[in-house]
Structure 1
Amino acid sequence: MNDMRVPVIVEHAPSPPTTLHRRAAPAATATTVAAVRTRLPPHRYAQEDLTEPIGDLCLAPGADRALLRRIHASAGVRTRHLALPIERYALLGDFGDSNDAWMTAGLELGEEALTGALREAGLGPADVDLLVCASITGVAAPSLDARLAGRMGMRPDVKRLPVFGLGCVAGTAGIARVHDYLRGHPDDTAVLLTVELCSLTLQQGDASRANLVAGALFGDGAAALVARGSGCARGDTAGPFVVATRSCLYPDTGQLLGWDIGAGGFRVLIDAGVPGFVRDHFGRNVRAFLTEHGLTTDDIGTWVCHPGGPRVLSAVDDALGLPGDALEPSRRSLETVGNISSVSVLHILQSIRESRRPETGTWGLMLAMGPGFCSELVLLRW
């Protein structure tokens, strides 16, 4: 991996010079995070109660389960929420059944997340100017956002952007793209919705290590984030503001993470080299981005990091030289709900806003990685 070509890096929404100073007020072009809400399915399980049922789904009768049990024990997950009761997964006959379940549960959870976020922001469905909807665990046309717009009473002229393929990075990338839009439409309100029902992609009869890891690590949920342009009244909000963003696409790394799509649906691809790649390459990109804004990792008081798994979080720690508790919100999210793909960073951001509102004027950084292989960074200011 050390001979990788130079990554393709794209920066969006650079801050004007007045925002580069550490004590500066949020830029006039900053986007306000007005609300964020996560919704989890009602079917909550302890990790140890899922190990054997998932083994029944993935392994042949009589197969050795030692590897399965080690993977579940070391995943860093204590509890997870599933879209369906665990006993119903064996009744899903094919990809069509799984995708139908994704649609039914996804619409319900998505509507609950959207309703909660809009209520928190003091807005209604008719106030939404742009709805971005990201999911990598199901497909539909009309897409989830189209169905929800009509179901919830959004305006007929609401702009919609359904996104597929970004995977775990979509929560961070979605915020970045919403910010891009609001810089050009400062009087608008944009909503990011992420719906990930990862359990419905589990491949029955697949004893591959990647499938077993996915069965131990991923959970289900939906989240919605309401963002407002600089022309909107900010009011009393827990924030934060989005100041700038950075995209990085690494050439020739498509084999590290993604789907192998076939008759059975979405078969996960997770290369064991992901943590090593993060450790070797991620730090320099983060530091370069921060340097351009007059900052170092020491200036970041709040880290909103996608919890890819224990080894990935350790790799981020090593790459950035972070203090021991910097990624505690990510580890806590992984422990309590598992890796929910694009939903996770929004779940973490909500918990930070609710449990320990950062001091006004301090910096934060949201970061995630996903298929491509790629990374997304969002610089935040409270």
Structure 2
Amino acid sequence: MTRVLAVSSVFPPHRHPQSEITAALARFLPPGSDTALLHRVHASARVEARHLALPLDRYGPGNDFGTTNALFVEAALDLGARALELALAGAGMTADAVDLVMSTTVTGLATPSLEARLAGRAGLRPDVKRVPLFGLGCAAGAAGTGHVHDHLTGHPEHAAVLLSTELCSLTLQSADTSMAALVAGALFGDGAGALLAVGRGHPLYATAAGPTVVASRSRLYPGTGHLLGWDIGHWGFRMVLGRELPDLMRLHVAEEVEAFLAAHDLKPADVDAWICHPGGPRLLDVLADALALPDSAFAVSRRSLAAVGNLSSASVLHILGSVQEAGPPPPGSVGLMLAFGPGFASELVLLRW
């Protein structure tokens, strides 16, 4: 078993209402573009405000991939350091007590990887085990939690950190007027999160009030790799987003959730806390309907989407933190963390308080 000691979320200082972001992106569109369509897409996203890595007037044409990626590395290191520091403080732990750090991002490239660059600055030990993850997309927050659990099951005396740093706004392609780009521009925000956990042999395991990780499951859906991801070129990252995703969620992801829960003698109605990645309002609606869940089941996910947008892999950490801050569920409560990303893939993590 794995115990979550602390979860943190941090954001860049530039926060704007959705209406301001919409107006700015409309100005960046190429001449002759359908600005009315952009406004409709943004209005339907159910996002009220977002944090951005740069001042709003720094976006638009003119930034090449190299310039943008350098900005990503600088901002990601600052956010990652703050997220790690906050999680450690929440658990009363120092950085040199961390045995494993797993970092995930899908919005920029760095070699050495972010956690390697962060190690000396944050005070991590030189012998800390490092696992950088790239390419799992929005699913990486849940996948990373599952992988941390796997490590701590084999090393129960260890402490491990999952660090998620996503600066989605820096992938903006102002000349791309495809529906996928418009949807991405309406939904995604910037932020970082850290999850600190220990194995059952660690001294802090029995004293913490956080949930335990019971099990996890990863699933690839064959023949769906073209539906979600990045088209990466000299321009940077261009969104790939298939219209079939809601149908795929209804047909396969809901079935996967039910099968995973059934393996632990549970049904969707038995889940007390849904830590569901807010891919978008339609995906949440479809999944809730397919699982026969009440509107309240994904309420925390909808609030996260409204307050900060879709944070890619950092969203589930923000949502789990919100659940904890509201007052941990009663002992014995069941939680399910779920997220989906390129592959097409789903990631599920069963939690108990």
Q: TM-score range by the shorter chain?
A: over 0.9
1:241 to 205, 212, 219: 212
Quote the Cα distance in structure 1 between the aligned partners of 2:35 and 2:287: 31
The residue identity in structure 2 corresponding to 1:359 is P
2:174 to 184, 191, 204: 204
Quote the Cα distance in structure 1 between the aligned partners of 2:335 and 2:22: 36
Residue 299 (structure 1) shift: 1.2
1:301 matched to 2:296: no
User: For the Cα contact (< 8 Å) 1:238–1:353, is it kept in 2?
Assistant: no
* Matched residue, 1:374: 345
Quote the Cα distance in structure 1 between the aligned partners of 2:274 and 2:151: 24
Q: SS of 2:103's equivalent?
A: strand
1:103 to 63, 69, 73: 73
1:116 matched to 2:57: no
User: For the Cα contact (< 8 Å) 2:14–2:52, is it kept in 1?
Assistant: yes
Q: SS of 1:326's equivalent?
A: helix
1:71 matched to 2:41: yes
Q: 1:25-75 deviations in whole A, cap 9, x for unaligned?
A: xxxxx1000000000111000001111211222x21343311000000000
The residue identity in structure 2 corresponding to 1:347 is H
TM-score normalised by structure 1 residue count: 0.91
* Matched residue, 1:352: 323
1:36 matched to 2:36: no
User: For the Cα contact (< 8 Å) 1:242–1:379, is it kept in 2?
Assistant: yes
* Matched residue, 2:165: 195
* Matched residue, 2:126: 156
In the TM superposition, what are the counterparts of 1:129-144 in structure 2 within 5 Å?
129-144=99-114
Quote the Cα distance in structure 2 between the aligned partners of 1:106 and 1:91: 22
1:50 to 17, 21, 24: 21
TM-score normalised by structure 2 residue count: 0.98
C-alpha change, 1:42 and 1:379, in structure 2 (3 Å) is same
User: For the Cα contact (< 8 Å) 2:217–2:347, is it kept in 1?
Assistant: yes
C-alpha change, 1:208 and 1:297, in structure 2 (3 Å) is same
User: For the Cα contact (< 8 Å) 2:61–2:174, is it kept in 1?
Assistant: no
1:166 to 130, 136, 157: 136
The residue identity in structure 1 corresponding to 2:67 is D
Q: SS of 1:377's equivalent?
A: strand
* Matched residue, 2:312: 341
* Matched residue, 1:272: 243
2:98 to 121, 125, 128: 128
The residue identity in structure 2 corresponding to 1:32 is R
Aligned length: 352
In the TM superposition, what are the counterparts of 1:2-13 in structure 2 within 5 Å?
none
Quote the Cα distance in structure 1 between the aligned partners of 2:76 and 2:70: 10
Residue 91 (structure 1) shift: 6.5
Quote the Cα distance in structure 1 between the aligned partners of 2:217 and 2:179: 32
The residue identity in structure 1 corresponding to 2:122 is M
2:57 to 87, 95, 98: 87
User: For the Cα contact (< 8 Å) 2:11–2:191, is it kept in 1?
Assistant: yes
User: For the Cα contact (< 8 Å) 1:367–1:378, is it kept in 2?
Assistant: yes
Quote the Cα distance in structure 1 between the aligned partners of 2:124 and 2:38: 45
Quote the Cα distance in structure 2 between the aligned partners of 1:66 and 1:117: 42
User: For the Cα contact (< 8 Å) 1:39–1:223, is it kept in 2?
Assistant: yes
Quote the Cα distance in structure 1 between the aligned partners of 2:112 and 2:215: 32
Q: Indicate the larger mover: 343-352 or 60-69.
A: 60-69
1:292 matched to 2:278: no
Q: SS of 2:60's equivalent?
A: helix
1:258 to 229, 235, 238: 229
C-alpha change, 1:81 and 1:159, in structure 2 (3 Å) is same
Q: 1:200-252 deviations in whole A, cap 9, x for unaligned?
A: 00112111111111111000000000010010122542311000111111001
Residue 92 (structure 1) shift: 4.8
User: For the Cα contact (< 8 Å) 1:282–1:319, is it kept in 2?
Assistant: no
C-alpha change, 1:106 and 1:92, in structure 2 (3 Å) is farther
The residue identity in structure 2 corresponding to 1:150 is G
Q: 1:294-322 deviations in whole A, cap 9, x for unaligned?
A: 11112111100000000100111012111
* Matched residue, 2:294: 323
Where in structure 2 are there 5+ consecutive unaligned residues?
none
